[in-house]
Amino acid sequence: MRTRLLLFLAAFCIALGAQAQGAYPTKYVRLVIPFPAATSPDVVMRLVGPQLGQIWGQQVVIENRVGAAGNIGAAAAASSAPDGYTLLYTVNSVICANPHLYSKMTFDPMKAFVPISLVANLGYVLIGKNDLPAKDLKELIAYAKANPGKLSYSSSGVGVGTHIVMELLLGATGTKMLHVPMNTPATAAVFQGETDLTMSPYTTGIPAAKSGKARGFGVTLAARAAALPDVPAIAEVVPGYVGDAWHGLLAPAGTPQAIVDKIAADTAKVLAMPEVRDKLAAIGLEAVGNTPAEFAAIVRKDYEKWGKVIRDANIKLD
């Protein structure tokens, strides 16, 4: 009798848990973005978040927690209850690069989070001064090899995406350039002739290349950007080169799989909406939406990839 009662209570608790997960969400969902308002992750989620809210019948509340290259906001999300009501929306550098850049972190991104969905892909445009002696990417690489250290490139800071994707290119081509971290826009430094080159995210790099103020030498995704059909993918000249900056949704480790799967499926529904895809494309972002398993594989691969680039370039932030 006692055994049957215990089995009944266990089954009842399981049923209640499944019912609670199936009804998710029953209150507002907090979405932590570890970057300021008006940055690309913030812009994307202010487009995608309300659509998720409509599907769920609950508000998605965006919280910008900035600082320490994304570590402050990510740490806040990592320490939240694993119940699906606090999520992290971030870029690949926070999860895959920061653990290699910082020797002292309050959390391990690879253990503290469970991947939900890759939301958007963002590439970079390699832009350079119009008066450079090289007219295309092949000539640029040849010039850099013949003149090691003569060319300079600006970035938005040591260890950030614009720095690391350039180091990936330098390593792949066996070239050396002077790195100039900037507190002001790295693209403007090229326009003004302060530096020779920069890797500029599509959101700013595509307009820069179209403006005529600088030359587009290549794009870092595997294929050419539709908005810059005459600018080659760097992989056309440097086989195997890909430098992307994905945006993704993650949840604190321990979040029930049923909730993770639901968020991923609903996110994919939003990203399949033509109006959402068009708005993201207009700012240089490719809408994705995949499964937790698919996203987890990408995270693991990029963790190893960017870790090697950082070690090879001997980049440290503490």
Same domain, 37 and 106: yes
d(CA 33, CA 36): 8
- Phi and psi, residue 157, nearest 5°: 145, 160
Give me the mean pLDDT over the 104-119 stretch.
96
Domain that residue 107 falls in = 28-121+245-313
In a domain, 187, yes or no: yes
CATH number at residue 161: 3.40.190.10
In a domain, 19, yes or no: no
In a domain, 298, yes or no: yes
How many domains does the chain divide into?
2
Tell me what pLDDT residue 13 has.
47
**CB-based contacts of 63, cutoff 8 Å, min separation 6:** 30, 31, 32, 33, 73
Residue 73 contacts residue 90 (beta carbons within 8 Å) = yes
Give me the mean pLDDT over the 241-258 stretch.
96
In a domain, 62, yes or no: yes
In a domain, 290, yes or no: yes
Residue 162 contacts residue 91 (beta carbons within 8 Å) = no
Same domain, 152 and 92: no
What are 139-185's pLDDT values in tens digits? 999 999 999 999 999 998 888 889 999 999 999 999 999 999 988 88
Q: How many CB atoms are closer than 10 A to CB 229? A: 8
Same domain, 197 and 129: yes
Same domain, 114 and 142: no
Distances (CA, A) of 82 to 14, 27, 85, 209, 259: 17, 15, 8, 44, 10
In a domain, 9, yes or no: no
Same domain, 62 and 158: no
Same domain, 175 and 206: yes
**CB-based contacts of 180, cutoff 8 Å, min separation 6:** 152, 153, 154, 155, 189, 194, 195
Tell me what pLDDT residue 39 has.
84
Q: What percent of the chain stands above pLDDT 90?
A: 82
Tell me what pLDDT residue 291 has.
98
Average pLDDT of the chain is 92
What are 69-86's pLDDT values in tens digits? 899 999 999 999 999 999
Same domain, 151 and 174: yes
What are 260-283's pLDDT values in tens digits? 999 999 999 999 999 999 999 988
Give me the mean pLDDT over the 205-217 stretch.
94
In the chain, how many H helices and how many E strands?
13, 11
What are 291-309's pLDDT values in tens digits? 999 999 999 999 999 999 9
In a domain, 99, yes or no: yes
Distances (CA, A) of 273 to 133, 204, 300: 45, 24, 28
